[in-house]
Each structure stands twice: as C-alpha cells, then as structure tokens.
Structure 1
Amino acid sequence: MTTYTRLGYYRHDVNKTKWEVADRYRDLRQVGTGAYGIVCSALDRFTGSKVAIKKLQRPFQSELFAKRAYRELRLLKHMKHDNVIGLLDVFTPDLSLDMFQDFYLVMPFMGTDLGKLMKMEKLSEERIQYLVYQILRGLKYIHAAGIIHRVRCLSFSAATRCWIGGILDFGLARQADSEMTGYVVTRWYRAPEVILNWMHYTKTVDIWSVGCIMAEMLMGRPLFKGNDHLDQLTEIMKITGTPTQEFISKLQSQDARNYIQKLPRLKKKDLQSIMPNINPQAISALEAMLLLDPDSRVTAAEGLALPYFTEFRDPEEETEAPPYDHSPDNAEQSVEQWKKLVHKEILTFKPPLVVAETKETAL
C-alpha cells in the first residue's frame, strides 16, 4: 500500500518494513537484508536508471549503530571511482533534526555478480585478466585513502553491490590499523592472518582475497575450501607451506605462535603443479598475492603492474583516493551527537554532476 506523506515523499511497505522515500524513486523491490539494513532496487524516474536504496536498521538505537551509520555515509561520500560504489543520493523524510530517525542511501544497482557469472559459464582468460585488473584498480583507489575493504566472497547478491562494477560495501570496510574479527569474510577467502587474528591487518589482507577469487575463476572451484577456521588454515598451509620462524616471530598472539609451531612441517607447493594448464603469468600473479606473510604480498598498485594485466593496463586510470580523515569516525560521541553529524552530512551532500546509467564492468 502506497501513501503520500509530505510533499515529494511517499510511504510504502516493503516486507512489513515501512519505507518513506523520495517520489523520484519508484518500484521498490527488496533485494537483500542484513543485520544493519535492508536494500531495495528502485527506478530513478529522473535518470531512468535502476538504483539500489539502503535503509539502515534503526541507525540511532545505540552509540555503536550511530557511529557505524555516520562512518558508512562519510566513506560513501568520499569515494568517486568507476570500480568503487559511490553515493548517488542520500535523503531523509524527516523534516528536522529533532524528528530525524531514518535516512536512505542511494547507490548504483549492480544486477549481477561473479558467483552467478561463474555458475553460468567458464570465464575466458581474457575476462579473468580484465576483471581482476578492475578489482585491483578499485583496491588501489581505496587503499590510498587508508581503508581496508575486507574483500568477501564471490557470491555477492545485488544487494551487497560488489565486484561487477564496484567493489565495496563500506559498512564492512575498516581503517587500515584497526582490529577486526574474522567473521565477516567468507572463510574460503579469508587471509590467514584473519583466521587466528594473528596481527594488525594491513592493506594486503585484501590482496589475499583477490588471489583466492582469481584462483577460483581460473580453476572453476575454490582453492582453499576449509570446513572450519583451523581446517581452513590447514588447507592454506598445504599449498603455502608452514610459516618460517621469521614470520612466526611477527605474530602478536602467543597462542597463535604456539599453535603454528606445533603443526607438522609442510613444504610450499608449486601452484603450477596444482594448475598445470594455467598461463604461467597467471601463476606468477597468484604466487605474488597468496603469500602467508602479509608484508611480502604485492600491494594493489604493484599487482596492477604484473605482466598478467599488461593487455588491459592504463596507468593513467589507476588513480588514488584523496586521504580520508578517520578521526571523526573514531571519536566518542553520544547518540544525539552522532545524529547531528549524520544530519549535517546529509544536508551537505552534493550529488554527482551527471548521473548516468549504472556502469557495469563489461562481461
């Protein structure tokens, strides 16, 4: 049932959830839901393009939720890159700060994902080169801002808006030096340092995940398919070998050091022997990404320069995001203070100059 509210807005129930959205967005259809929000696809009547609209679940129910909402909004406003989902619009139906309770994030709609694509057909090598190049290009951009994306699994729904055309769900991004638990990333794509919370994560935590995704595209199946955390680590070490003493000494957790030192010694396997029919340049790229020691992995910028991606490379297009100021996100504020900051961010939002049809990576 649709009810018109104040000028320019209407109310519509989406699976028993009340949405009050700007009149330009029609044909709301739920495409995803999670702990922090619901996502609908919609038609933007101004541009004729399909968009994704995210309504955060009670964003001001606690200081933690309010801080998360503020952070997600700021990060989305900061990003302006072809391979990173940015913000097309943000609005609230509430007339004043006193009434402010809900707001909606409008982003390009991504109609497909790699998981679906891989189930439909075997990807050609040219496509794999191009797609991984685009992923690395997006990561170079966001890593320059000091943001770790925490690349997740291949089977992203349209709601989570990932690899095809963009690489981001900033509700899950973290600044580069913050502690993160390992439960968000699908296990098969988690970097080894995430599995046992070995150390502070660096930007190369994302590179490991890209290597796992690339290997799956080449092989048609996951490279590391563990049944639980420790089994995942075992599957990884069957290929990478057990860590060197030098690497073990870097681990911040004594429990992790003790666990690793008790493992049977395993030698590193040659990836070419596991994937005998794969282009040696692809193997070299995987070898550079899938290293146990995060400090030894290539960065996104270094990955772009690998020979495997030469055919698609355009260094002038490999841009970097401007620095992102994390200090407001890390402040301790009351719910009311966070709400005031979010409201200000909404009021100061400037939409893209040209809102074109959603860009999807050519498949």
Structure 2
Amino acid sequence: MAIAARSRSGFYRQEVNRTVWEVPERYRDLKQIGTGAYGTVCSAWDRRTAAQVAIKKLHRPFQSKLFAKRAYRELRLLKHMRHENVIGLLDVFTAEISLDRFRDFYLVMPFMGTDLGKLMKMEKLTEDRVQFLVYQILKGLKYIHSAGIVHRDLKPGNLAINPDCELKILDFGLARQADAEMTGYVVTRWYRAPEVILNWMHYTQTGKGRPHSGNAVWNVFNLEKSVLSCVAVDIWSAGCIMAEMLLGKPLFKGNDHLDQLREIMKITGTPSPDFVVKLQSQDAKNYIRSLPKVPKKDLHYVFSKASSNAVCVLERMLLLDPECRASASETLELPFFNEFRDIEEETEALPYDQTMDNTDLPLDQWKRHTFTEILTFRPPRDSKGTSL
C-alpha cells in the first residue's frame, strides 16, 4: 500500500469537497465558495495579516498547452495589477519545490464577500449607490485599459463587492471570443457590445469558423485595430450594467445573438448608413439593411426615474458605433461623478507586456515560465510600507 507523501515543511493538507489542497500553515479554515471550469475558490483565514482571503486552486493547469498558457497569463495579469478597483494578487504558492514535481499552484486574492449580480438580486440600488459603484467600475477600467488590456467579458458576476460597497473587477483580459462563453451562459450575452455580436454573425453565418481571439472582433469592421477601438467593448458592457442598476432589470435581454441585436436597436435605433459602411462583412450589412427602420429612443424617457446626470452617462456609453463611445477617462469627467471624484485615485497602469500572449510554446515551457513567475513574486506592501 502506497504511503502518502509528506507535505512540504510549513504546509499542510486539507480535503475540500473531495479535492486535496496543500497550503501554507498561515492559511486556515478553508471553505469552498465557488467553482468553475478553470478552478475552485475557497475562503481562508490568513493568520499573518488577521484577514479573510480568497484562494483559487486552478483545475489541472498543465493538462494541455491551452490550459497552461491561460494559467500563465492569469498569473501574470494578477501580478501586474495594483489598483484598489482591480483584483490583485496577495500571494501565490505551490507546495512543490522542484519543477519536475510542479503540478498545481494557488492564487491568493482579497476576499470580497459578494458580487454585483447577487447584490442586485437582494436589493434595489439607490442612485447614490449606483454613482459610487459605477465610479469604481470606471476607475478600474481606466487602469486596466491604460495597461493595454481589454476585459471583453464584463458582467455583474465579474464585479466583486465587499460589505463597505468597495468594488473590484475580476477575470480581466482572460475571455476569448472563441471560448464557450460565446454560446454559453445567456446572462453573458446581455452585456455584449453590438460589434461583438456582429462579428459572431460574420463567422458563424459564413461558415468561416469562429474568431480566433478577442482582437478578431474588429475583423467585421473596417477599423484600425487600436486599443482605443477595442476597449469600447468594455464601455458598452459598463453602460449595460449601470442601466441594470438603475432599472432593477437587464436593459437588453436577448434570447439569442440576433434577438440581442434587435433588443439593442429598439433603444439605439437602426444604425445610420455611416455605421453600416464601416462593416466589413456583407452578411452583417445585409442583415442590418433588412431590419425595419426604428428611431432612437430618448433615454430620459427609458430612465424616467433617474437624474439627468445619470442619463447623460448612459448616452455617452450606449452608442452603437464603438468609435463614438466615451473612454473610461472621458466618462469619469461627467458631472454625475463629481461627488465622489478623487483624481489622484484615477491612476494608470504600467504597460503590460503582451509578447507572450501571441507565442506558441510547448507545454513544458509554459510550465517553466509559470514556475519562474511564482518564484519571483513579491507581495504588495500595505499602507505602512511593510510586506503582507
């Protein structure tokens, strides 16, 4: 009978829902709080900082090149982020001390407690709460976008909130248009920018296969693939989320991608000829031209209970043409946010080096790069300048 290997010095083992977790002694009282395709999350008590944390164990991160690259990218993105409205890394560890035994690793992040989706189900938000939450979303987006990163899948479930109503953006830069999310959960579709849906139409209806990456969104447009163009997908999603906060229900609740587009155009109106000309896909052009002409709705009428300043924000974000949408920085300047604005907090990030994102490496090299990233991690410093 095989004897279980002893844990590395300073680590202990605990079974959580039939999965063995091997974690440092400082983290205690593990309880599963979430699980998904890529990993499981437990809450834990950090004895060193006397605070609750969230620990994510990635699900077999080295089972394939695709999983290994995604795991490496998630680790690097989290290491790069240092902003109060963007989830960052408090710690990263593996119980293995050599590369040849390296199988699993764990990401330690702040514990938030809930997310915006759950919060909206529990209560109707007042406009001042909406102000504060949207302000934080935009500050986080400004930071992420300044690093050259596009979230691509912003939705209420990706916005973590603590009891003080402080918000952090999760899972940024990880979504890919070729992922199952394109045809997966219905909720995700409600926050998709129209250009993403038009791109999906182009690839599925012409039989040309699915888009290869997030940047392929722009293949459907005769647009320059600038970061400014790409980040507009997140601004649309943020507008949809703000609209839902104000209405108490999703603004665009399509049953499928075509229905989603129809729901959007009931509010935005049928696209102008200038917009249609920008479309590269003949299928998308023909589809839009076949739609009955619908005038643009007055958002002041749709959001009759909201203040004029709140509606003004939505008017700048929910524009059909991505080139016309305000950036996160521009939106923050609107009067709606004056009460909460602290310009010193509206910081930008250092550029994120995306060289590796377009690299095709063997599995063992992704594993080696990930192991190196773990070994070179330095924890963030607290307000007193000491390491956590």
Same fold (TM over 0.5): yes
Unaligned runs of 5+ in 2: 201-216, 219-228
1:330 paired to 2:358: yes
Q: Compared with structure 1, are the counterparts of its residues 146 and 92 closer, same or farther at alpha carbon in structure 2 (3 Å cutoff)?
A: same
> Are 2:313 and 2:336, in contact at CA under 8 Å, matched by a contact in 1?
yes
Q: Matched residues, percent identical?
A: 66
Amino acid at match of 2:242: M
1:182 paired to 2:210: no
Amino acid at match of 1:353: R
> Are 2:190 and 2:250, in contact at CA under 8 Å, matched by a contact in 1?
yes
Shift of 1:229: 1.3
- Report the 3-state secondary structure (helix = DSSP H, G, I; strand = E; otherwise coil) of the residue aligned with 1:98: helix
- Report the 3-state secondary structure (helix = DSSP H, G, I; strand = E; otherwise coil) of the residue aligned with 1:7: coil
1:309 paired to 2:337: yes
- Report the 3-state secondary structure (helix = DSSP H, G, I; strand = E; otherwise coil) of the residue aligned with 2:101: coil
> Are 1:225 and 1:232, in contact at CA under 8 Å, matched by a contact in 2?
yes
Give a deviation string over 1:204-240, Cα, whole Å, max 9, x none.
1011111111111111111111111111111110000
Q: 1:73 aligns with which of 72, 75, 84?
A: 75
Shift of 1:3: 9.7
Count of equivalent residues: 349
Q: Larger % of helix: which? A: 2
Give a deviation string over 1:119-177, Cα, whole Å, max 9, x none.
33322211111110110000000000110112433245969xxx953112146257xxx
How many angstroms apart in 1 are the aligned matches of 2:115 and 2:97? 37
- Report the 3-state secondary structure (helix = DSSP H, G, I; strand = E; otherwise coil) of the residue aligned with 2:304: coil
Q: TM-score, normalised by structure 2?
A: 0.85
How many angstroms apart in 2 are the aligned matches of 1:354 and 1:226? 44
Which is worse superposed, 245-254 or 130-139?
Answer: 245-254
Give the aligned partner of residue 257 of structure 2.
Answer: 229
> Where do residues 82-121 of structure 1 align in structure 2 (5 Å cutoff)?
82-121=84-123
> Are 1:3 and 1:12, in contact at CA under 8 Å, matched by a contact in 2?
no
Which is worse superposed, 118-127 or 241-250?
Answer: 118-127
1:154 paired to 2:182: no
1:351 paired to 2:383: no
Amino acid at match of 1:69: A
- Report the 3-state secondary structure (helix = DSSP H, G, I; strand = E; otherwise coil) of the residue aligned with 1:137: helix
Q: TM-score, normalised by structure 1?
A: 0.90
Shift of 1:117: 2.2
Shift of 1:4: 6.2
How many angstroms apart in 2 are the aligned matches of 1:183 and 1:204? 21
Give the aligned partner of residue 9 of structure 2.
Answer: 7
How many angstroms apart in 2 are the aligned matches of 1:338 and 1:27? 32
Which is worse superposed, 186-195 or 97-106?
Answer: 186-195
C-alpha RMSD over aligned residues: 2.3
> Are 1:142 and 1:148, in contact at CA under 8 Å, matched by a contact in 2?
yes
Shift of 1:115: 2.3
Q: Compared with structure 1, are the counterparts of its residues 30 and 6 closer, same or farther at alpha carbon in structure 2 (3 Å cutoff)?
A: same
Give the aligned partner of residue 361 of structure 1.
Answer: none
Give a deviation string over 1:244-291, Cα, whole Å, max 9, x none.
122122223222222112111111110111122211111111010000
> Are 1:32 and 1:158, in contact at CA under 8 Å, matched by a contact in 2?
no
Give the aligned partner of residue 359 of structure 1.
Answer: none
> Are 1:88 and 1:355, in contact at CA under 8 Å, matched by a contact in 2?
no
Q: Compared with structure 1, are the counterparts of its residues 234 and 43 closer, same or farther at alpha carbon in structure 2 (3 Å cutoff)?
A: same
Shift of 1:42: 0.8
> Are 1:13 and 1:19, in contact at CA under 8 Å, matched by a contact in 2?
yes
Which is worse superposed, 204-213 or 253-262?
Answer: 253-262
1:42 paired to 2:44: yes
How many angstroms apart in 1 are the aligned matches of 2:269 and 2:356? 42
How many angstroms apart in 2 are the aligned matches of 1:157 and 1:86? 13
How many angstroms apart in 1 are the aligned matches of 2:175 and 2:259? 26
- Report the 3-state secondary structure (helix = DSSP H, G, I; strand = E; otherwise coil) of the residue aligned with 1:202: helix
Give the aligned partner of residue 205 of structure 1.
Answer: 233
How many angstroms apart in 2 are the aligned matches of 1:265 and 1:171? 36
Give the aligned partner of residue 360 of structure 1.
Answer: none
Which is worse superposed, 346-355 or 212-221?
Answer: 346-355
Shift of 1:78: 0.2
Amino acid at match of 1:322: L
Give the aligned partner of residue 267 of structure 2.
Answer: 239
Q: Compared with structure 1, are the counterparts of its residues 40 and 341 closer, same or farther at alpha carbon in structure 2 (3 Å cutoff)?
A: same
Give the aligned partner of residue 208 of structure 2.
Answer: none
Amino acid at match of 1:240: T
How many angstroms apart in 2 are the aligned matches of 1:205 and 1:155? 17
